[in-house]
Amino acid sequence: MKARLCIILCGLSAGFAANATQLFTNGGFETGDTTGWVLTDSVGSSGSFFVTSASSTPLTGNPTVGPGGGTYYAVSDQFGPGSYALTQSFVDPVGTISAILSFDVFTNDVFGLGGSLGEVDLLAGGSNVLTATPISVFYSADTFDVGGAPNPYVHISLDISSLMTPGQTYIIRAIDTDTAPFNVGVDDFSLIASSVPEPGTLLPVAAAACLLSLSKKRAGR
């Protein structure tokens, strides 16, 4: 009787234990490259996103604030107008109860000419990453470099679980669309999904653990 009760209780408690999972790969770019990410640049453009540790952009040498944390970050740079997307796909786990997205981002409108835009947003899986309409926009700005000094990072953190359907594929996107010298920097991407597994998948393991515990107690009598 005690063994049966233990099995039931363990199965129920295990069914409600939340698992926390990091959904992004190389979110801080600490591999020193774009491992885990996809670069997509508009046809005929002369720029892209680059991973660097320098406090200046790799093509034009515009000053930046540098990495947000660690050694590396990603920043867009170009010699002319274009659009450049840095993206990563992920699957929202079944049973998700929260999905905390966080990242650091800055935009530098080098000459304050306007007409450019830096954005971080969420797309549906399979979308055209240069033209798709976002499910939600988390950051959007065209910020002039006041006094010539590079702008600091803006930290974003929010629960995006209500925007997604568990089991579906989504894309996190950083995009630079510019008509004049403009730089978008991003770092420290994280997406922690907390999910509750189906009780049936954990019951056998929980039952075995309970029975083992009971047998040890009996052996120790």
Q: What is the pLDDT of residues 11-36, one digit of tens each?
A: 444 445 679 999 999 999 999 999 99
Displacement of CA 152 from its chain's centroid (Å)? 20
Q: What is the pLDDT of residues 157-183, one digit of tens each?
A: 999 999 999 999 999 999 999 999 999
Task: Tell me the C-alpha distance between 107 and 115, whole Å.
Answer: 13
* Per-residue pLDDT band at 203 (split at 50, 70, 90): very low
3-state secondary structure of 208: helix
Average pLDDT in the 190-204 region? Answer: 73
Single pTM value for the model: 0.83
* Residues β-bridged to residue 67: none
3-state secondary structure of 35: coil
Task: Please report, for the chain, how many H helices and E strands are present, in that order.
Answer: 2, 11
Which of 52, 53, 132 is closest to 85 using CA atoms? 132
Residue 141 amino acid letter: A
